[in-house]
Structure 1
Amino acid sequence: MRPLWRCRGCGAPWPCQPARLALLAEYRHDRVGLLVYLGALMTEAGAQLTRLHGRPADLHERFLGWARGRGGTMFHVNHEPGAEIHHTDPFAVPTGQRSPVRRLRGRLAAPVTLWTAPGPAGLTVSSTLVAEGEPDRLLGLIDPESDLWAAVEESGRFAVTPLGPPHRQLADRFAGLFPAPGGLFATGDWVETSYGPVPADGGGWAGCRLDTAREYGWGLLVEATIEAVELAEESVPLLHYRGRYHELPA
Structure 2
Amino acid sequence: MTADVPGGRIHATDPFATPDHQRSPVRRLRGRLAAPVTLWTAPGPAGLTVSSMLVADGEPGRVLGLIDEESDFWDAAERAGRFAVAPLGPADQQLADRFAGLLPAPGGLFAAGEWQGSEYGPVPSTAGTWAGCRLESSRPCGWALLVEAVIEVVEPGPPVPPLIHYRGRYGELSG
Contact 2:20 2:28 (8 Å CA) reproduced: no
Measure, in 2, the Cα distance between the counterparts of 1:151 and 1:125. Answer: 15
* Matched letter for residue 220 of structure 1: L
Structure 1 unaligned spans of 5+: 1-78
Tell me, what secondary structure is at the counterpart of 1:207? Answer: strand
Shift of 1:94: 3.0
Measure, in 2, the Cα distance between the counterparts of 1:94 and 1:237. Answer: 27
Match of 2:24 in 1: 99
Structure 2 unaligned spans of 5+: none
Q: Which structure shows the higher helix fraction?
A: 1
Measure, in 2, the Cα distance between the counterparts of 1:107 and 1:118. Answer: 34
Structure showing greater relative contact order (alpha-carbon pairs closer than 8 Å, 6 or more residues apart): 2
Match of 1:173 in 2: 98
**Structure with the greater alpha carbon radius of gyration:** 1
Shift of 1:247: 0.3
Q: Deviations over 1:8-34 (max 9, x none)?
A: xxxxxxxxxxxxxxxxxxxxxxxxxxx
Aligned residue among 33, 44, 52 for 1:127: 52
Shift of 1:86: 5.2
Measure, in 2, the Cα distance between the counterparts of 1:111 and 1:208. Answer: 18
Shift of 1:88: 5.9
Q: Name the % identity.
A: 70
Match of 1:155 in 2: 80
Contact 2:40 2:49 (8 Å CA) reproduced: yes
Q: TM-score, normalised by structure 1?
A: 0.66
Measure, in 1, the Cα distance between the counterparts of 2:106 and 2:51. Answer: 24
Q: Which structure shows the higher strand fraction?
A: 2
Aligned residue among 101, 118, 129 for 2:43: 118
Counterparts of 1:11-90 in structure 2, within 5 Å, are 82-83=7-8, 85=10, 89-90=14-15
Give the aligned CA root-mean-square deviation in angstroms: 1.7
**Alignment of 1:240 onto 2:165:** yes
Q: Deviations over 1:42-72 (max 9, x none)?
A: xxxxxxxxxxxxxxxxxxxxxxxxxxxxxxx
Tell me, what secondary structure is at the counterpart of 1:180? Answer: coil
Q: Structure 1's 85 and 242: CA in aligned 2 closer, same or farther, altered over 3 A?
A: closer
Shift of 1:212: 0.4
Q: Deviations over 1:169-188 (max 9, x none)?
A: 00000000011100000000
Structure 1 runs (4+) deviating above 6 angstroms are none
Measure, in 2, the Cα distance between the counterparts of 1:241 and 1:86. Answer: 18
Aligned residue among 48, 51, 61 for 1:136: 61
Report the number of matched residues.
172
